[in-house]
Each structure stands twice: as C-alpha cells, then as structure tokens.
Amino acid sequence: MDLLEHQAMRLFAAHQVPVPAGEVAASPSAAGAIAARLGGATVIKAQVKVGGRGKAGGVRLAATPSAAVACAAEILGMEIKGHRVREVLVASASDIVTEYYLAFLIDRSAREIIAMFSESGGMDIEQVPASSIVRTPIDPGLGPPADAFPADVAPVAAKLWDVFIASDATLVEVNPLIVDAAGRVLAVDGKVTLDDNAFFRQDFSDISTSPEDPSEARAASLGLNYVKLDGTVGIIGNGAGLVMSTLDVVAGAGARPANFLDIGGGAGAQVMADALSVVLDDPAVKSLLVNVFGGITACDAVANGIIQALDRLGDAVTRPIVVRLDGNNAAAGRAILAAAAHPMVSLVDTMDDAAARAAELGKA
C-alpha cells in the first residue's frame, strides 16, 4: 500500500525524522488559511500516489497566503498521470542549499534490502547516471553501515531506517533530502510503500491507508487486487506474474496499460464480473485485454463472468474487449463467448496477438 506524501511525512515525524511544518487542505481557502498560520513562503503540493508532480505543475511555491489560495485553486482538480488531485499539502518552504536522494527498499531480484544514495537529488533524479547512485546491501539485523552516508546525513538516515523496519515498509524514499541554509537536514518529500501482509501487526489508525482513487477504493471493497495506471488499455489477468507480463507485452506493442488487476487463482464468475466492471468504469480505458491462463481458475468460469458483466453493464459497454483464454477449460470458455457473440468482444488465440490487438484499439 502506497502512502500519500502527507501520510509519509506524518510517519517520518513520528520517528523523529525532521520534516517541514505543513497541513493538508481540500480547498483553496483552507490552503490560504494554513499558509497564513505557517507564515512566510509555502510550497503547495498535489497529493497523488504518482511521481512527476513537479513537472506536471502539481508543486508550486507561494510567497503569500493569497498566492497559496491561487496555487491551490490551480492544482486542486487537476489530473496527474490519471490521478485527480483532491488534496494539497501546504508546507513551509525551505531555503535549499544541497539536495540528496536517499531510499531504503527491498530488492526482490537480489533478495536483499538495499540503501540507495545520491548526492544529486531533486526533480531530475531520473536523469542522474546510475553510476552516481550508490547501492549498499544492508543486513537487517545490523542496519545501515556507518559509512553508507555522509556524516551530516547519517543521523537522519538512521531514523529513516527506523521507519522502514518499524512500519514493515518495502520502500522508504526521500527525494530530496535537503540541507538548508541553517545547516539542518530535512526530508522535504517522502514516499512510503507498506507491506499489506504485515498490517495485522501494525496500527495505522492515525494514518489512513485507504486508496484515494475511487476506482481503487471500489476495487478494494470488492476484494480485488487493482492498481490504477495512466494508460488506455485495461488489463485483467489471473496471477500477478501473468498480469505483469501482460503489462510489458502491451507496452511493447506501443500502448500504455491503464491498470493492474489480478483476479487471482480460483476466481469465479462473480469475481470476473466485478473486475470487468471496475476496469470499464475508468473513462481513460479505450480497450480492455482479458488474459487468463486456466489452472485453478477455469476458463469457462471466466467466460461466464464476462457474460454476466456485459449483461449487467448493458449499453454502458462501448469499448472493445479482447479476450485470450488458455489452459483449463479454455475450449469451453471460448465456446461460451463465441455463442454469446457480443459485438464488443473479440477472441484472440495468443498473448502477443491479443496484446497487439488491444494496443491497436487502445490508441484509437
């Protein structure tokens, strides 16, 4: 579960990580009132769970409370990579002298926890050469080695490590971690991903972990593993590995996936119907690819779920659906869909061909 920036900053503060003063506002007038209470210049920051906010115009400096009102009015309601801004963080502006990048994360391919650090942090971190980002493996029993960070950063890094371990996080990232004109080291931004599987032993009652996107909230209420992305091709599959592969193949075919949705193993017709409904509720979706390899999940159940959803949605189904079924009861599933002969559904035999077809339709 990803946290919004203001939630991450609250978590940081609870572990004595220095952060700028700030509050959340859902209206321009509230942003102006917060700016007045903080005094001095403020930064108005869109609260969405995607990167690139600054380049999209979602982070702005306001010299006065009235400027904060104007900035908030421009940011609230805007869309950043498909995510609508419903709140802004109004934070005290910092006099930045130095910007660093620092992160702790689980490197699943290497099966280890690593620290990543660069002396070139900030908005253009993606352009920083990989050679300038130092990756340090960490023994979770010992914590970060003493020489992993510059001396002025090390005390704050130790507190961020405490956040990572105590919160069962899979990622704690600060970009930038700054040194201000007074020599203070501050986390002026924060990204935290929590391990959902560890929630049973965590108390996040003071930090809402509910999705801010309505589609994600609805999917969560239905028990679906859904993440909204910023593309136009909806994706439904069974098994995280297959869904991730499908995202890659669609991207390779020249289109951007609109979501990640894993119906899991053993999903029945109702789950399939719920999944289809959630994806088609996204107005950004121009086409939908259902890619199922039948194992525990039988392809005839998937087909019945598609028919149920189509019947329920009726005339609301105005975008093409490409279906690829293989494995357990695939022939029966294809026969069910062929017999239904829905004008918006097309059957494709292979994963590559299905992705190419969905990508073509998604760019229309």
Region class of 52: left (phi > 0), else alpha (psi between -120 and 50), else beta = left
Tell me: do 160 and 238 sit in the same domain. Answer: no
Q: Determine the pLDDT at residue 208.
A: 58
Model's pTM, two decimal places?
Answer: 0.65
Q: What is the CATH number of the domain that holds 126?
A: 3.30.470.20
Tell me: do 272 and 185 sit in the same domain. Answer: no
174 in a structural domain: yes
Tell me the per-residue pLDDT of 257-282, one tens digit each, with 9 for 90 and over.
999 998 876 666 788 888 888 998 88
Question: Above 60 in pLDDT, residue 209?
Answer: no
Last residue of a domain, one of 30, 58, 92: 92
Last residue of a domain, one of 46, 61, 92: 92
Domain that holds residue 40: 21-92
Tell me the per-residue pLDDT of 296-333, one tens digit each, with 9 for 90 and over.
778 898 888 888 888 888 887 889 999 999 998 999 99
Count CA within 13 A, CB hemisphere, residue 137.
6
Tell me the per-residue pLDDT of 84-141, one tens digit each, with 9 for 90 and over.
899 999 999 999 999 999 999 998 777 899 999 998 877 666 666 776 788 999 999 9
* Alpha carbon distances (Å) from 53 to 26, 64, 142, 189, 200: 17, 21, 35, 11, 32
Tell me the per-residue pLDDT of 167-182, one tens digit each, with 9 for 90 and over.
999 999 999 999 999 9
Query: What is the mean pLDDT of the segment spanning 231-256?
Result: 91
9 in a structural domain: no
Range 220-241 burial, b when 16+ CB lie within 10 A, else e: beeebebbbbbbbbbbbbbbee
Q: Estimate the crossing angle of helix 5-14 against helix 154-166, to 10 degrees.
A: 110
Top-confidence residue, 80 or 163: 163
Q: What is the CATH number of the domain that holds 246?
A: 3.40.50.261
Tell me: do 253 and 334 sit in the same domain. Answer: yes
Last residue of a domain, one of 72, 92, 112: 92
Q: Determine the pLDDT at residue 277.
A: 87
Q: What is the CATH number of the domain that holds 32?
A: 3.30.1490.20
Q: Find the catalytic residue in 99, 173, 212, 216.
A: 173
Q: Find the catalytic residue in 101, 212, 216, 226.
A: 101
Q: Is 330 helix (H, G, I), strand (E, B) or coil?
A: helix
Tell me what the pLDDT averaged over the chain comes to.
89
Structure tokens at 341: 């002969």
44 in a structural domain: yes
Tell me: do 159 and 103 sit in the same domain. Answer: yes
- DSSP string for 76-101: TT-EETTEE---EEEEE---EEEEEE
277 in a structural domain: yes
Tell me the per-residue pLDDT of 11-68, one tens digit each, with 9 for 90 and over.
999 999 999 999 999 999 999 999 999 999 999 999 998 888 988 999 999 999 999 9
Tell me: do 224 and 351 sit in the same domain. Answer: yes
Query: What is the mean pLDDT of the segment spanning 189-194?
Result: 93
Q: Determine the pLDDT at residue 359.
A: 94
Question: Above 60 in pLDDT, residue 363?
Answer: yes
Q: 49: closest CA among 168, 206, 217?
A: 217
Q: How far apart are CA 93 and CA 21, in angstroms?
A: 9
Is 173 catalytic? The answer is yes
Q: Determine the pLDDT at residue 267.
A: 63
The DSSP output letter for 230 is S
Question: Above 70 in pLDDT, residue 206?
Answer: no
Q: Determine the pLDDT at residue 70.
A: 97
Tell me the per-residue pLDDT of 210-237, one tens digit each, with 9 for 90 and over.
555 678 878 888 888 888 888 999 999 9
Tell me: do 236 and 336 sit in the same domain. Answer: yes
State the total domains in the chain: 3
Read off the pLDDT band of 164 (50, 70, 90). very high
Is there a contact between 58 and 98 (Cβ–Cβ < 8 Å)?
no
Structure tokens at 25: 């506002």
Question: Above 60 in pLDDT, residue 286?
Answer: yes
Q: Determine the pLDDT at residue 162.
A: 96
Express as a percent the part of the chain with pLDDT over 70. Answer: 94
Read off the pLDDT band of 364 (50, 70, 90). low
Residue that has been written with the tokens 């049973």 in this structure:
200
Q: Determine the pLDDT at residue 144.
A: 92
Tell me: do 174 and 56 sit in the same domain. Answer: no
Q: Determine the pLDDT at residue 228.
A: 85
Is 112 catalytic? The answer is no
Q: Determine the pLDDT at residue 273.
A: 82
